Amino acid sequence: MLKRFHARAAKVALAVATIVAVTTVGGNSGVSAEDEQSPIKNVIILIPDGMANDATALARWYKGSSLTLDQMASGMVRTHSADAPIADSAPAGTAFATGHKSHTGFVGVLPDKATMPGQKAIAPGDERKPVASVLEASKLAGKATGIIATSEIMHATPADFTAHYPDRKNYDALSKQQVYNQVDVVLGGGSDYLVPSGRSDGENLVSSIKALGYDYVTTPAAMKASKSGKLWGMFAPAGLSYDMDRDPAKQPSLADMTQKAIDILSKDKDGFFLMVEGSKVDWAAHANDPIGIISDVLAFDNAVKVALDFAKKDKQTAVVAVTDHGNGGLTIGNAATTGSYDKEPLSTFIGPLKKAKLTGEGLEAKLDAKRTNIKSVLKQYYGISDLTIEEIAAIKAAEPGRMNYAVGPMISKRAGIGWTTGGHTGGDVVLYTYAPNNDRPFGVIDNTDIAKYMARVLDLDLDAVSKQLFVPAKQAFTAKGAKYELNLKDAKNPAILVTKGSQKLELQIYKNIAVLNGKKSSLNGVIVYNGTDAFVPQDAVDLIK
């Protein structure tokens, strides 16, 4: 018996020694000689925007079994921005995409200042300067690229990977860059912002998308049937429905979109980079709507399963799943359970939630025009038959599109769910990772380390790509002895005009188009104007001799 014990102990010691041997200082696992024979060629990052830790626990209890995410947990991530402990989605996504912290509302550009402890000061002249994303670097390396979101695709997080501007609300600038950055697969919502009626510049980007060779689809059936290597799918005017409210004939699930994107992108022999966002976890949290949270955390987890199943079979794909920040301060347990928290059965919290058949957003469509059927609708779709006079008044007064803000707190109260805020929170969030060679981050890391990890495993140099894609235009062209003019008079066609001798160059802002002496060509990246200065790819500068 003693010999067998020592034998088992020796095996355990050997296993521990092996783990320690391949672990680097700082918590990142190293790569063994065997691992080096299987380099990472693809990366899939999945972002459940605003998913607090208790949201996964709540979704797990509701589901009644483990989440796919559970097996991937490997660490924690600090979420602060450059100048605030609680981050907005734009700088939080910028950190994931570029490896740089930024300021509230800033998409893919540096902040004006970095004042949080430990942050390096922004060099004079670098304020609001665009910085390259892992997606852009992947594209330059010859890899296929894709973005997916359940929000509008020009919303903060997907825009962080594909565009650059110091105002997340400037959908005109962001969406035009997304189109002309020529991402191979784009799936989500936001069709209203691609047509002239939804744009201040009056441009028809749907026509541009089709002219660039995309198969432009608007239904799940068309998405599934598409054989194109370039696919652009728009399934809603703005954001998609919550998964619980979704009509499968009109909108694909996040898992469906993820599978389609992988099917297309994985055909590229050079590999691919894919960003997938479960956008409306965040929207539900802002509304303190636990049904919306559960709906889209579970939908997100299904998408994670699609990515993980592919990665395990492919053996060349790393998967990262991580939220950009917490939101709402969701707790399982509220003030009412202060004296009974440890005596409450699971049914106290999950029972009322199980009765809901729709999210608060979906519930709105069931109310008549004058909202005279509030009691019957809440009883049928939420199992609530004890509405107070105040609750009825709140439902009746809810503005269009804001019904989840009215009914979310009502079902939360009945389910013992607590909320501390209607805004974001500043705590660390869980990091979920998978890599076939186990080269993945561990411990507590910074949100900027996500981009650095993805760039490292894909052998990308983000700083070098930034220098290649974002050359200060005025400085570069005047150094060549050329005359430089920034022409912003035509809102539909803002451009940089460069002349030197007989050479006349027009560079169309937010596009990748250069016109030299009347001859059009495509550049390696888009022209970026940040409201003050313009930046161009090096190959644009090289056109002037």
pLDDT tens for 308-342 read 999 999 999 999 999 999 999 999 999 999 999 99
Tell whether 157 is in a known binding site.
yes
Q: Which of 29, 89, 138, 279 is catalytic?
A: 89
Is the pLDDT reported for residue 31 higher than 80? no
**What is the structure's pLDDT at 502?**
96
Tell me the pLDDT tens digit for each residue of 203-253.
Answer: 999 999 999 999 999 999 999 999 999 999 999 999 999 999 999 999 999
- Mean pLDDT for the stretch of residues 467-483: 97
pLDDT digits (tens, 9 = 90+) for 43-86: 999 999 999 999 999 999 999 999 999 999 999 999 999 999 99
Question: Annotated binding residue at 424?
Answer: yes
Token pair recorded at residue 241: 């429905």
Give the chain's length: 545
| Fold of the domain spanning 470-541 | Copper Amine Oxidase; Chain A, domain 1 (3.30.457)
The Cα-based distances of 105 to 82, 122, 403, 527 in angstroms read 12, 17, 26, 20
Q: How far apart are the first and last CA of the chain?
A: 83
Copy the structure tokens of residue 214.
């995309």
**325 labelled as ligand-binding?**
yes
Fold of the domain built from segment(s) 39-324+428-468: Alkaline Phosphatase, subunit A (3.40.720)
Pull the structure tokens for residue 120.
């390096």
Collapsing DSSP to helix, strand or coil, 528 comes out as strand
Is the confidence at residue 35, as pLDDT, over 60? no
Is residue 282 marked as binding?
A: yes
Pick the CATH number of 344-416 from 1.10.8, 2.50.20, 1.10.3470, 1.10.60: 1.10.60
Share of the chain above pLDDT 70, in %: 93
Mean pLDDT of the chain: 93
The backbone torsions φ and ψ at residue 526, rounded to the nearest 5 degrees and listed phi first, read: -90, 155
DSSP-derived letter for residue 31 is -
Query: In terms of Cα–Cα distance, which of 3, 23, 154 is closest to 89?
Result: 154
286 annotated ligand binder: yes
Q: Where are the beta strands (DSSP E) in 99-160?
A: 144-152
Backbone angles phi, psi at 239, to 5 degrees: -75, 155
| Closest to 288 in 3D by CA, of 367, 359, 374 | 359
- Secondary structure of the chain: what % helix, strand, coil (to 5)? 40, 20, 40
Q: Is 89 a catalytic residue?
A: yes
Question: Strand 42-47 vs strand 272-277: parallel, antiparallel, or unpaired?
Answer: parallel
> According to the annotation, is 428 in a ligand binding site?
no
Confidence of residue 38 (pLDDT cuts 50, 70, 90): low
How far apart are the C-alpha atoms of 58 and 56, rounded to whole Å?
5
How confident is the model over 76-95, as pLDDT tens digits? Answer: 999 999 999 999 999 999 99
* 8 Å CB contact between 189 and 153: yes
Domain boundary assignment for the chain: 1-30, 39-324+428-468, 344-416, 470-541
| Tokens describing residue 105 | 């509302």
The helix or strand, by DSSP H or E, that contains position 216, with its residue range, turns out to be strand 215-217
Is there a shared CATH topology between the 39-324+428-468 domain and the 344-416 domain? no
Q: Tell me how far apart the alpha carbons of residues 151 and 186 are, in angstroms, rounded to a whole number.
A: 12
* DSSP codes of every residue in 78-114: E---SS-SS--HHHHHHHHHHS----TT-BSB--S--
Distance CA(101)–CA(96), nearest Å, equals 9
